[in-house]
């Protein structure tokens, strides 16, 4: 393998480049700024831990909740006041960071730039979001500790945003400050982008990405890392699972308008009954599962099959043939469908009837009924394919009841005296471009993860020839990265936390984070930034 342009300790490459899931060599910074003592300090020093707890806890104590109906800050500045408080807190808490990085504010979103000395190197973009999911007032009594207390019990920090995702935001700022303290000056520009409404509309991330694209151009970033998946244990092996894809999205909003009248003389089927029939038709015809080479889940399964000796032999055989053999592929699909709903919807477009509205009062026929069906679209499909599926169901019902259909302003069937359906697409989003897992950017990320977790965090866990397996994953939901697709081919949704088993209760009562996880995020990015700073872009090609 050609290693020209690399500056690192040890070798880079794969143990078996011809396998379906090769294991990367360790990737270790050669920089003089990298010392095991620094990583040990971050992970194990009591004073560092206590100071870090204070920083994260303080950010949790500033409620940065966002709601779906909010506009931008210039429309409702009073609603965004807590974000201004958070910005002041960050400046006070991270003085070295703010002294050395350029800060830009777009409404409540933040961009920080640490200018590198080599403009020929593509910047590294690291992301998090400032906002948190609202705490429902009626649930406050159910919290073990106040939801915005940032309480630390010696093991966990409690409160809304501790795991989604002020932990990541604060950890990234801590990482940068630790690098500044040792006089590190990056060759590669480092950009941090912190949106302000990821949990609602995502407008903030869109504006931040737009600014970066205007400044740097398309495909201008070396890589992008945002919140995402973490680790899992399968068949006795530990897997790091950076998400390299996200499913698509569509809210299908369907309304039915019919004549009104007195309930004492009703038609055989009111508009509510007709829409109910449409819903029943959709739910009775779910989308078929599909597992192709495009789907990262096949890549994950191939890693399980190649590296887990305890896996069922028949399942292993089918997984390793699934990309070539139809029968084997179908057996793997059946396995995933039976395993869990979560597994099923990694290979299937999901549909969920989330909202239905209609009727005004007793004794009056409903004249207007609407339903919202949410679709999370498989990576092999498109939102237009899903819309065609919905249209097919509409036509069946419309033909039965002599109704018209208007789709996105286009008349498909002429409205009749019986009424008509109106079908609109809300927030359509295609599935994300698939990040490659056979290039140098993936190799560097994977090799860093292996070295960091095997040698620095859990050295006793990986004795006796055991090793961390880095496998591709996929997000069924969407992150702020949906606005950044044009900036890089290498987008990873991954949070390098501890794989300690506990329920973080993200978005729910008693949200918390194991503080070992927080420290590991800081230390991992310390190592990863140094690794990325020591390579040249021209070797980042598909191999």
Residue 239 gets the label, from left (phi > 0), alpha (psi -120 to 50) or beta, of beta
> Is residue 77 predicted with pLDDT exceeding 90?
no
Domain at 35-243+470-535: CATH code: 3.40.630.10
Domain at 246-305+315-429: CATH code: 3.30.70.360
With residues binned 3-state (H G I as helix, E B as strand, rest as coil), the percentages for the chain, rounded to 5, are 35, 20, 40
| Residue 131 annotated among the catalytic residues of the structure | yes
The full set of domain ranges for the chain reads 35-243+470-535, 246-305+315-429
CA atoms of 521 and 495, how far apart (whole Å): 7
Query: Cα angle at 449 between 41 and 43, to 5 degrees?
Result: 15
* pLDDT given at position 15: 52
> What residues does 28 pair with on adjacent strands?
9
Report residue 543's pLDDT band, with 50, 70 and 90 as the boundaries: very low
CA atoms of 145 and 510, how far apart (whole Å): 7
Mean pLDDT of the chain: 93
Q: What is the pLDDT of residues 218-247, one digit of tens each?
A: 999 999 999 999 999 988 899 999 999 999
Q: What is the pLDDT of residues 382-421, one digit of tens each?
A: 999 999 999 999 999 999 999 999 999 999 999 999 999 9
Report residue 502's pLDDT band, with 50, 70 and 90 as the boundaries: confident
Peptide bond before residue 165 is cis, with ω within 30 degrees of 0: yes
> Is residue 542 predicted with pLDDT exceeding 60?
no
The half-sphere exposure of 64 on its side-chain side, counting CA atoms within 13 A, is 27
Neighbours of 505 (CB within 10 A): 17
| Residue 177 annotated among the catalytic residues of the structure | no
CA atoms of 532 and 422, how far apart (whole Å): 51
Q: At what angle do helices 46-60 and 166-181 cross, to 10 degrees?
A: 140
Please enumerate, by residue number, every residue annotated as part of a binding site for Zn(2+). Answer: 129, 164, 199, 226, 507
Q: What is the largest CA-CA distance in the chain?
A: 85
> Is residue 521 predicted with pLDDT exceeding 80?
yes
Polymer length of the chain: 543
* pLDDT given at position 178: 97
377 in helix, strand or coil? Answer: strand
> Is residue 12 predicted with pLDDT exceeding 50?
no
> Is residue 360 predicted with pLDDT exceeding 60?
yes
Query: Cα angle at 27 between 213 and 16, to 5 degrees?
Result: 105
* pLDDT given at position 7: 31
Nearest CA to 219 among 507, 541, 488? 488
Pairing of strands 404-407, 420-429: parallel
CA–CA distances in Å: residue 47 to residues 41, 50, 54, 71, 502: 9, 5, 11, 42, 25
* pLDDT given at position 50: 98
> What residues does 217 pair with on adjacent strands?
none
Rounded to 5 degrees, what are φ and ψ at 127? -130, 155
Nearest CA to 110 among 43, 40, 32, 208? 208
Catalytic residue among 65, 174, 177, 198: 198
Report residue 538's pLDDT band, with 50, 70 and 90 as the boundaries: low
The half-sphere exposure of 409 on its side-chain side, counting CA atoms within 13 A, is 0
* pLDDT given at position 526: 97
CA atoms of 330 and 313, how far apart (whole Å): 16
Catalytic residue among 25, 131, 197, 480: 131
Rounded to 5 degrees, what are φ and ψ at 112? -115, 135
């Amino acid at each position: 393998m050609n290693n020209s342009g690399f500056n690192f300790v040890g070798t880079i490459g794969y143990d078996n480049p011809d396998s379906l899931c090769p294991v990367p060599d360790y990737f270790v910074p050669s920089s003089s700024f990298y010392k095991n003592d620094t990583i040990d300090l971050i992970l194990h020093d009591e004073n560092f831990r206590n100071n870090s707890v204070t920083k994260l806890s303080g950010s949790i104590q500033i409620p940065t909740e966002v709601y779906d109906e909010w506009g931008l800050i210039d429309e409702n500045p009073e609603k965004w006041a807590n974000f201004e408080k958070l910005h002041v807190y960050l400046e006070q808490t991270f003085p070295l960071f703010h002294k050395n990085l350029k800060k830009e504010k777009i409404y409540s979103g933040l961009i920080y730039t640490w200018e590198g000395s080599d403009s020929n190197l593509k910047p590294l973009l690291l992301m998090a979001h400032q906002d948190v999911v609202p705490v429902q007032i009626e649930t406050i009594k159910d919290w073990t500790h106040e939801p915005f207390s940032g309480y630390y019990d010696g093991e966990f920090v409690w409160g809304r945003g501790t795991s989604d995702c002020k932990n990541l935001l604060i950890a990234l700022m801590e990482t940068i400050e630790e690098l500044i303290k040792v006089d590190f000056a990056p060759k590669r520009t480092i950009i941090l982008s912190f949106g302000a409404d990821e949990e609602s509309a995502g407008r903030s991330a869109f504006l931040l990405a737009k600014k970066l694209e205007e400044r740097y151009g398309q495909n201008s970033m070396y890589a992008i890392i945002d919140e995402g998946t973490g680790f899992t244990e399968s068949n006795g092996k530990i897997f790091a699972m950076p998400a390299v894809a996200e499913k698509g999205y569509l809210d299908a909003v369907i309304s039915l308008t019919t004549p009104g009248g007195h309930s004492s003389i009703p038609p055989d089927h009111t508009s509510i009954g007709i829409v109910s029939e449409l819903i029943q038709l959709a739910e009775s015809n779910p989308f078929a599962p599909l597992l192709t080479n495009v789907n990262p889940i096949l890549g994950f399964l191939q890693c399980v099959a190649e590296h887990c000796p305890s896996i069922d032999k028949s399942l292993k055989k089918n997984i390793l043939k699934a990309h070539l053999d139809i029968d084997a592929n179908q057996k793997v699909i059946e396995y995933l469908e039976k395993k869990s709903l979560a597994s099923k919807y990694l290979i299937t477009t999901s549909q969920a009837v989330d909202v239905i509205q209609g009727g005004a009062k007793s004794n009056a026929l409903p004249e207007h009924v609407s339903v919202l069906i949410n679709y999370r679209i498989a990576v092999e499909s498109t939102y237009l394919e899903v819309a065609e599926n919905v249209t097919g169901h509409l036509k069946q019902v419309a033909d039965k009841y002599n109704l018209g259909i208007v789709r996105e302003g286009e008349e498909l069937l002429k409205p009749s005296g019986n009424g008509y359906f109106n079908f609109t697409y809300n927030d359509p989003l295609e599935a994300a471009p698939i990040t490659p897992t056979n290039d140098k950017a993936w190799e560097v990320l994977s090799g860093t993860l292996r070295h960091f977790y095997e040698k620095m965090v859990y050295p006793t866990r990986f004795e006796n020839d055991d090793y961390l397996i880095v496998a591709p994953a996929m997000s069924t939901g969407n992150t702020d990265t949906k606005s950044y697709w044009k900036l890089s081919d290498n987008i990873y949704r991954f949070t390098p936390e501890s794989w300690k088993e506990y329920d973080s209760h993200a978005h729910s009562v008693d949200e918390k984070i194991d503080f070992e996880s927080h420290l590991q995020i800081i230390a991992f990015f310390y190592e990863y930034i140094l690794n990325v700073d020591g390579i040249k872009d021209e070797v980042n090609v598909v191999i």
